[in-house]
Amino acid sequence: MATCLRAWLAIVALIIPLISSGAEPPAILLAETYAGSVDVSRYLVSEKLDGVRAVWDGRSLRFRSGNPIHAPGWFIDGLPKVPLDGELWIGRGQFERLSGIVRKEVPVDEEWHAVRYMIFELPDAPGTFADRVAEIRALVRRANRPWLVEIEQFRVVDRSSLQRKLREVVKAGGEGLMLHRADAPFVTGRSDVLLKLKPWHDAEATVIGHQSGKGKYAGMLGSLRVRTPDGREFALGTGLTDAQRLDPPPVGTIVTYRYRDLTGSGLPRFASFVRVRAEP
């Protein structure tokens, strides 16, 4: 299998210059939610990073939307000439800072020196995910750039071990865990070969209105009125800072919220505002 991967790398290096780098969203793998009934010993597990998804096609770096990421030349020049999928990341709890850095059309070198490109997949590569993980490790080692890092993948023996690791990561400030079937070929779209496990759920909704605050929030925003993609509407007030209440996200903005579970009517329970979706 290592021979197949090396052959793939050589072929990709030849054909990349012939491929257009249009702004269409790249085909990527999206995770389903862990349900607790899978055989976790068949998966490789990694920490779920609170970063910005970034896809490298061998010559350009793009957001999952397909729009370009304006990274400095030295950052781009240090990447291998083969497709990569991963997260731009600074550290736990640093999403807002990271987002401010990577969304600038004119990159600031000093800021980008804090950014790491954390690799977790080789798009279209042959073999199993375990094979590709080994090749990612080798690619990173050969590139020898401090900003190019493979995401650590590890195994757990059972669900109890998985939950212990989840508690450890969350206690340290992490978001959760990702589980990727070790024997899976490369696939795209939403698939249960990739699972996410967190102590809460995240989702997105569109702001459709502003509700005035009362009491200590008099004269400020009380809550956002939002609508989910499937048409459910609810008020989202918890989690907003005073600055956001004074200058709320405008109508039409897509926001991320966090919730524990769903009510009988399908509305999120204990919903809390997380952030405005920053990706272009």
The set of catalytic residues is 48
Which tokens is 10 given? 């050589």
Q: Report which DSSP code applies to 218.
A: B
What is the longest distance spanned by two Cα atoms in the chain?
68
Contact 25, 188 (CB under 8 A): no
Q: Roughly what angle, to the nearest 10 degrees, separates helices 129-143 and 2-15? A: 60
CA 186 remoteness from chain centre: 18
Contact 65, 278 (CB under 8 A): no
Please tell me the distance from the alpha carbon of residue 34 to that of residue 145, in angstroms, as a whole number. Answer: 34
Please tell me the distance from the alpha carbon of residue 233 to that of residue 31, in angstroms, as a whole number. Answer: 25
Dihedral sign, Cα of residue 167, residue 172, residue 177, residue 183: negative
Cα within 13 Å of Cα(126), Cβ side: 12
Helix, strand or coil for residue 14? helix
The label of the residue with tokens 């061998």 reads 58
Q: Report which DSSP code applies to 125.
A: -
Please tell me the distance from the alpha carbon of residue 49 to that of residue 43, in angstroms, as a whole number. Answer: 18
